[in-house]
């Protein structure tokens, strides 16, 4: 873990408007609501508020809503995209494509009312490829964790 001081935003600088200016994702596939900390090139702390109104709960599972694990991994990947692209000038931003998922583990269900805290750290960056290690937590408990690799391509 880095010993440098995290960058904290002035007021609501890293809200949904900023997130949508960095990522191409939109409803219903934008899975990050706010960034709390961002250490460029090192780590990000963000969150997703999980509500009963999420479309995926209609079928996963009726009567017992559980957030699909693949969407938790996608939320980690999107937070990683913000880590990698947020500090980059808007004119230089590219699309980040998920290229692999390793060691994905699901530790507890994520249900409506949970706040999914997304902690992502950069493992390495080589050219247009990066490897990120992420954890998704609810109330301090690990709900899911994975290592994701992404590649940047022209927008």
Question: Could you give the residue numbers annotated as active site?
Answer: 60
Q: Which residues contact 121 (CB under 8 A, 6 or more apart)?
A: 1, 42, 43, 132, 133, 134
- Residue 80 to residue 78: CA distance in whole angstroms: 5
User: Are 105 and 144 spatial neighbours (Cβ–Cβ below 8 Å)?
Assistant: yes
Alpha helices (H) along 29-151: 69-85
Q: What tokens appear for 4 in the block?
A: 């440098």
- Residue 84 to residue 63: CA distance in whole angstroms: 38
């Amino acid at each position: 873990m880095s010993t440098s001081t995290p960058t904290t935003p002035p007021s609501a600088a890293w809200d949904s408007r900023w997130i949508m200016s960095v990522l191409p994702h939109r409803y219903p596939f934008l899975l990050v609501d706010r960034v709390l900390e961002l250490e460029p090139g090192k780590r990000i702390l963000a969150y997703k508020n999980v509500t009963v109104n999420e479309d995926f709960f209609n079928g996963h599972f009726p009567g017992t809503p559980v957030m699909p694990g693949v969407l938790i991994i996608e939320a980690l990947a999107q937070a990683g995209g913000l880590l990698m692209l947020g500090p980059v000038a808007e004119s230089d931003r590219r699309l980040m494509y998920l290229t692999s998922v390793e060691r994905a583990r699901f530790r507890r269900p994520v249900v409506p009312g949970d706040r999914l805290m997304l902690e992502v750290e950069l493992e390495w960056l080589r050219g247009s490829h990066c490897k990120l290690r992420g954890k998704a937590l609810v109330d301090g408990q690990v709900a899911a964790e994975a290592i994701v690799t992404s590649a940047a391509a022209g927008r």
